[in-house]
């Protein structure tokens, strides 16, 4: 009986060698599991970055296409519908005029500094600080000005911020022309952004992590230029937008991943102008 108890006591517990082997195997399995987790997490982050890149590029090029297609809409003579600068990344400026929010002078101006009298016109679409364009159909000339005050009851638009250069006659048209400039801002070299700047306003981020944008212009004679010499002769714009991942990828030599998207935009309003001419 005593010998049996002694054998059981000697068999109880584990030896130091067994414990070391168990720790080694546990560490080996844990390391393998952790490595699988890290790889899977890395792949997930890469796919998330690629998805963000694609969404940024598609969103940017879709919006650019929509607004560029409207270039020249309702514009009076004398305003370029599109201006391109081959600055690599390129810069583009487009102009259009919405259907709403316009008025006309119902009295001759006695001096360039007096308010614009638009009797009978709805001025509720205008607001202080807005930039408008006044155009005289008789002379074919016009200029931009900033609204300093709106008196809807008296039908008067003040422009004390930017006095006009001439006294405009009765029948001159006041238009809410939209002028938009798109360019790449490299102020933050790690996160370059596509910027949008409206007339008289500070630029805002239009799309994040866009490091290149290129425009080419097909003219009405079918030539393709990097920069249009005569903007009114542009018939189609070819757009290429390149985005980068928001975070670097150590496996990439760049070390950022890139995606590029392209689009072609027919300037239908300029075609209409050409046909009407």
For residue range 119-130, list pLDDT tens digits in order. 999 999 899 999
Give residue 19's pLDDT.
76
Count CB-CB contacts under 10 A for residue 36.
10
238 vs 17, 80, 132, 210, 212, CA distance in Å? 72, 18, 30, 17, 14
What pTM, to 2 d.p., does this model score? 0.78
Q: What is the pLDDT of residues 41-71, one digit of tens each?
A: 566 666 666 677 677 777 778 888 888 999 9
pLDDT at 29 over 80: no
Q: Show which of 176, 211, 241 is a domain's final residue.
A: 176
pLDDT at 207 over 50: yes
Paired with 82 in beta bridges are 94
Whether 112 contacts 164, CB under 8 Å: yes
Q: Are residues 126 and 245 in the same domain?
A: no
Using pLDDT thresholds of 50, 70 and 90, give the confidence band for residue 248: confident
Q: Are residues 70 and 195 in the same domain?
A: yes
Q: Are residues 103 and 166 in the same domain?
A: yes
| Continuous H helices in the chain | 2-11, 16-69, 268-276
Whether 244 contacts 49, CB under 8 Å: no
234 vs 34, 177, 270, CA distance in Å? 58, 20, 7
Higher pLDDT pick, 110 / 36: 110
Q: Are strands 234-244 and 103-104 parallel, antiparallel or unpaired?
A: unpaired
Q: Are residues 136 and 212 in the same domain?
A: no
Q: Show which of 176, 197, 212 is a domain's final residue.
A: 176
Across the chain, mean pLDDT equals 85
Q: Are residues 183 and 145 in the same domain?
A: no
Structural domain boundaries enclosing 268: 52-96+178-276
Higher pLDDT pick, 265 / 257: 265
Give residue 49's pLDDT.
63
* Percent over 70 (pLDDT), the chain: 86
Q: Show which of 176, 194, 215 is a domain's final residue.
A: 176
- What is the mean predicted confidence (pLDDT) over 114-140? 93
- Does residue 42 fall inside a structural domain? no
């Amino acid at each position: 009986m005593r010998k049996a108890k002694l054998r059981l006591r000697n068999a109880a517990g584990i030896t130091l060698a067994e414990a070391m082997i168990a720790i080694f195997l546990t560490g080996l399995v844990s390391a393998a599991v952790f490595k699988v987790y890290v790889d899977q997490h890395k792949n997930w982050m890469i796919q998330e970055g690629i998805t963000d890149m694609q969404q940024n590029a598609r969103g940017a090029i879709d919006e650019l296409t929509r607004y560029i297609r409207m270039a020249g809409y309702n514009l009076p003579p004398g305003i370029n519908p599109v201006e391109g600068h081959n600055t690599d990344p390129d810069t583009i400026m487009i102009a259009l005029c919405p259907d709403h929010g316009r008025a006309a002078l119902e009295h001759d101006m006695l001096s360039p500094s007096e308010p614009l009298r638009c009797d009978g016109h709805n001025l509720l679409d205008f607001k202080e600080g807005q930039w408008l364009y006044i155009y005289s159909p008789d002379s074919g000339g016009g200029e931009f000005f900033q609204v300093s005050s709106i008196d809807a009851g008296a039908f008067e638009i003040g422009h004390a911020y930017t006095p006009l250069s001439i006294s405009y006659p009765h029948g001159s048209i006041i238009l809410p022309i939209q002028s938009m400039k798109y360019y790449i801002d490299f102020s933050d070299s790690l996160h370059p952004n596509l910027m949008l700047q409206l007339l008289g306003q500070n630029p805002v981020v239009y799309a994040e992590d866009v490091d290149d944008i290129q425009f080419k212009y097909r003219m009405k004679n079918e030539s393709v230029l990097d920069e249009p010499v005569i903007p009114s002769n542009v018939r189609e714009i070819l757009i290429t937008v390149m985005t980068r991942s928001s975070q670097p990828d150590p496996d990439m030599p760049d070390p950022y991943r890139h995606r590029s998207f392209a689009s072609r935009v027919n300037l239908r309003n300029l075609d209409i102008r050409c046909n009407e001419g």
